[in-house]
Amino acid sequence: MEVKTPSRSLPDVAHEKLETDLSPLEWVGMSGIEVPVLVSGEDGLFRQAAKADAFVSLDRSPSRGIHMSRLYLTVQELLAKEELNLALLRRAVEDFLLSHRDLSSSARLSVHLEMPVLRPALVSGHASWRTYPATLSVEKVGEQIRSFLEVTVTYSSTCPASAALSRRLIQEGFRQDFSSRELTLEAVEEWLGTTRGIQATPHAQRSLARVKVQTDDLNMVDLVDVIEDALQTAVQGAVKREDEQEFARRNGQNLMFCEDAARRVRAALETMSGVTAYRAELDHLESLHPHSAKATVSRGMN
């Protein structure tokens, strides 16, 4: 179909002079830009839906606005065609500034996605797909450029206080039931297999670890692995009975207040090479209370 060329140039109100405040602005841009990204997986690169936030500073005065379309086109052209990593985002940020060299001295880009990872079951040998919310971001202010990676890991947390109270009830039940019975190994083993042998269970809850690190080249999956290894009770996809039993064992051997979880994650992050700063928020979505319990640890990051 033939496209008609306008007989006159199209109006551009961005260049109109206004009798109003045209002072500099810290950040101007777009959020939630829809873009497919190329993510590296076990079977090679695959496309994944994502959303990007692209901003530059507006330093020149007087100037009414920035070139939004230039940011948008850079996001579409780079992120949709090359493997998603922090190096690619750094290139995009430099392109933002190059296309706004007369307007801006700072730029930033964030990409948000649900990262799919194939996870093995704890015991059975099955595997299932899990998705982890992740954000890659790069920010350049003046001559300083910083890169960040953020992931959210879901795990189970069993309350140590509730576990202790449950054990006490079991002890009391044992004393009551065996006060007039012969105490033999067989009798105790049989009793432990009844509902009387587990008269109470500690409360546990689904919990979230939101971890953001400053890094130049860390991989998303590597960061998730470190967090899950530290906590030991990551939620599971495919489970057979043997997997569920192992999950129960791990919960029993890793009783955690939110403070305990925060210290575990901090210790793990402190040992990671390539992490120059971090912030971790541990959120226990309480099953006992209608509110959550939270703890935060950080180094070098607000």
Domain boundaries, the chain: 22-111, 121-159+203-302, 161-198
- Residues 165-175 have pLDDT tens digits of 999 999 999 99
- Residues 23-51 have pLDDT tens digits of 888 999 999 999 999 998 777 888 999 99
Calculate ∠ Cα 257-259-261, nearest 5°. 75
Question: Under a CB-based contact definition with an 8 Å cutoff, are residues 265 and 209 in contact?
Answer: yes
Of the listed ranges 129-133, 175-179, 235-239, the least confidently predicted one is 175-179
In CATH, the number for domain 121-159+203-302 is 3.10.270.10
CA dihedral 264, 266, 270, 271 (to 10 degrees): 20
Of the listed ranges 54-63, 80-89, 237-246, the least confidently predicted one is 54-63
- Residues 213-222 have pLDDT tens digits of 999 989 899 9
Question: Under a CB-based contact definition with an 8 Å cutoff, are residues 293 and 286 in contact?
Answer: yes
Cα–Cα dist 270/280, whole Å: 12
Cα–Cα dist 236/191, whole Å: 31
For residue 281, which amino acid is it? Answer: E
Q: Bigger pLDDT: 175 or 20?
A: 175
Q: Identical fold at 22-111 and 121-159+203-302?
A: yes
Dig out the tokens for 289 from the structure. Answer: 């209370």
Dig out the tokens for 207 from the structure. Answer: 């919990």
Does domain 22-111 fall under CATH 3.10.270.10? My reply is yes
Predicted model pTM: 0.87
Q: What pLDDT, on a 0 to 100 scale, did the predictor assign at position 153? A: 98
Cα–Cα dist 48/30, whole Å: 20
Cα–Cα dist 301/166, whole Å: 40
Percent of the chain with pLDDT over 90: 75
Q: What pLDDT, on a 0 to 100 scale, did the predictor assign at position 89? A: 97
Nearest to 55 by CA among 98, 112, 104: 104
Nearest to 82 by CA among 59, 107, 111: 111
Residues 6+ apart with CB under 8 A from 119: 127, 128, 129, 130, 236, 237
